[in-house]
Amino acid sequence: MDVFDQAPNNIQALYGSLPILHSINMNGKIVSSFILNNPSEIWVEIKTYNNQMNSNFKESVFLSETGILDFYVFGDTTLQRNHYKLAYITGFSILPPLFALGYHQCKYGYKSQKEIEDINLKMDEYDIPYDVIWIDIDVKINL
């Protein structure tokens, strides 16, 4: 999802992602990770409670609109090992193409081809190198 003009503190989803929750025990030796794999919109809320022993108790609530309960729980000694296990299931990232490592100019709501051409001229004027300028589908351009 890409929601234009999102209000601050609004709980409406902005981007799709794979929610992952990590927890570390008191001495930092054991790490557990919880991943919910669901294609629908998911909200995650983390609540903190104080118990009688004056320590915090955390509760997480996952809310999904639809779909199946497809979740994974990992436990290991480091966060890196848990991320490796996650990548083993979801797939390892490929190396990006070289141009993707450069500067990308992007803004939602370019109004015209003229505005984009002006931005290109300003980049040259201020000697700002860039590899890509992203144009949304709502911009009218002449090719």
Asked if the structure places residue 48 within a domain, the reply is yes
Is the same domain home to 86 and 102? no
What does the pLDDT average to over 129-137?
84
Asked if the structure places residue 2 within a domain, the reply is no
How big is the CA angle at 114 (ends 111 and 116), to the nearest 5 degrees? 70
What is the pLDDT, as a whole number, of residue 120? 93
The whole domain housing 74 covers: 20-90
Asked if the structure places residue 7 within a domain, the reply is no
- The tens digit of pLDDT for each residue in 59-105 reads 888 888 888 888 889 888 888 898 899 889 888 988 889 888 889 98
Is the same domain home to 84 and 126? no
Is the same domain home to 111 and 85? no
What is the pLDDT, as a whole number, of residue 142? 63
Is the same domain home to 86 and 27? yes
Is the same domain home to 81 and 30? yes
Is the same domain home to 107 and 86? no
pTM exceeds 0.75 for this model: no
What is the pLDDT, as a whole number, of residue 119? 92
Asked if the structure places residue 69 within a domain, the reply is yes
- The tens digit of pLDDT for each residue in 14-54 reads 666 778 888 888 777 778 888 888 888 788 888 888 777 65
Is the same domain home to 62 and 81? yes
